Structure 1
Amino acid sequence: MTAARVDIVDDTYLRVAPAVVRGWFDDEERLMRLWPHLQRTLVRDRGVKGLRWTVDGAVVGEMEVWIEPWWDGVILHHYVRGTRGRGAPADVARRHQLRWKRAVHALKDRLEEATL
């Protein structure tokens, strides 16, 4: 029996400077609350361009946030590639996506409101 693949791709536009978005990912406690189902190991810090981790836990593989400058803001790309971890729920990808969308939309609302 092979492990179920997890492939998540998400893109969200934020009308905020890249450095501001990148700074949001510097709060380790926030990231632990966002992804409590994953143990992350930083593989590459690309500065204002984003971060890449290996992950273990509910998903075994890799995860990335890529901050792409776009017009007067950024497109925040989020990728997860791997397999469902041992004991993870069958809908782990869906749960991860919903958790991410709630967090990124809250970030978007807070940061964009601050620029109005």
Structure 2
Amino acid sequence: MSLVDLADDTFVVAEPARLARRLTAAEFWRACWPSVRLDPYHDRGAEGMRWYVRGEFTGTAELWLEPCRDGTVVHVFLRVDPARGQLPGRRLARVRREFAVAVKSAMFALKDEIEAGRTVGVGPRPLLGPAEPPTCSVPAGDLEPAGDPVPAGDPQPPVGDPVPAGDPQPPVEKVPSGELAGDDPKVVDQPGVHVVTVAGAQDRRRVDGRDDGGPGAR
């Protein structure tokens, strides 16, 4: 890893091609970093440039112009080492700061020059699409409802088949098998009445649960 590893980002309301004409010129970087010389080895046109760094420090530098809505994000990378051995810790920290402050000051000066007279919040051309990206990747209209909405404050619908109010099911009385003669009991259901019939005997009991004051019909 280089001793000086710098990455700077600045947003400028201008097209990449316009910024490339200014930021790829040797004069701009000579005024920014007078202690080094940049020798270009990869001209990327409107996307930027790459240089070899010579002088008091050696290494590489890169300019990347990234289009962003109505402007450009200017990315500057510098990775260099001292050309004459190591530097003391305090001296190295001061050099790192000098490189960083110099490039940021130069970028702010260029930004003020290019954006001079521009109304704050207004770009050079209309924006396409919303000002802010959507927070959900799925449009709200494409979502399937989970079920019928229940109005606030209403109780939840009961689970199972509803039972009509005022018409409860009559309870069924369990009769011990020992009270009925014969074997093989059979239960015959009739509307509103449950009748137990014992095979081999004429014994029928009304067990619909109503108390009419007497025994069931025989």
1:47 corresponds to which of 21, 45, 48: 45
1:94 aligns with 2:97: yes
Query: How far did residue 57 of structure 1 move?
Result: 2.3
Query: How far did residue 81 of structure 1 move?
Result: 1.1
Query: How far did residue 29 of structure 1 move?
Result: 2.6
Q: Secondary structure of 1:61's partner? A: strand
Residues 58 and 94 of structure 1: CA distance in aligned 2, closer, same or farther (over 3 Å): farther
Higher mean displacement: 58-67 or 29-38: 29-38
Alignment of 1:28-107 (within 5 A): 28-86=26-84, 89-90=91-92, 91-107=94-110
Residues 81 and 110 of structure 1: CA distance in aligned 2, closer, same or farther (over 3 Å): same
Residues 33 and 18 of structure 1: CA distance in aligned 2, closer, same or farther (over 3 Å): same
Unaligned runs of 5+ residues in structure 2 are 120-218
Report how many residues are paired: 114
Name the structure where strand makes up a greater proportion of residues: 1
Which residue does the alignment assign to 1:111? 114
Aligned letter for 1:48?
Answer: A
Unaligned runs of 5+ residues in structure 1 are none
Find the aligned partners of 1:7 and 1:26 in 2 and give their Cα distance.
20
Spell out, residue by residue over 1:10-65, the C-alpha distance to the aligned partner (whole angstroms, 9 max, x if none).
11111111111111124433332222111211111100000110102232110011
Aligned letter for 1:95?
Answer: E
Find the aligned partners of 2:114 and 2:70 in 1 and give their Cα distance.
13
**Aligned-residue CA RMSD (Å):** 2.1
Name the structure where helix makes up a greater proportion of residues: 1
Q: Taking structure 1 as the reference length, what is the TM-score of the superposition?
A: 0.86
**Conserved in 1, the CA contact under 8 Å of 2:61 and 2:78?**
yes
Find the aligned partners of 1:58 and 1:65 in 2 and give their Cα distance.
20
Query: How far did residue 84 of structure 1 move?
Result: 2.7
Find the aligned partners of 2:42 and 2:63 in 1 and give their Cα distance.
11
Identity %: 34
Q: Taking structure 2 as the reference length, what is the TM-score of the superposition?
A: 0.48
Find the aligned partners of 1:35 and 1:82 in 2 and give their Cα distance.
12
1:13 aligns with 2:11: yes
Rg (Cα) greater in structure = 2
Q: Secondary structure of 1:113's partner? A: coil
Find the aligned partners of 2:80 and 2:74 in 1 and give their Cα distance.
20
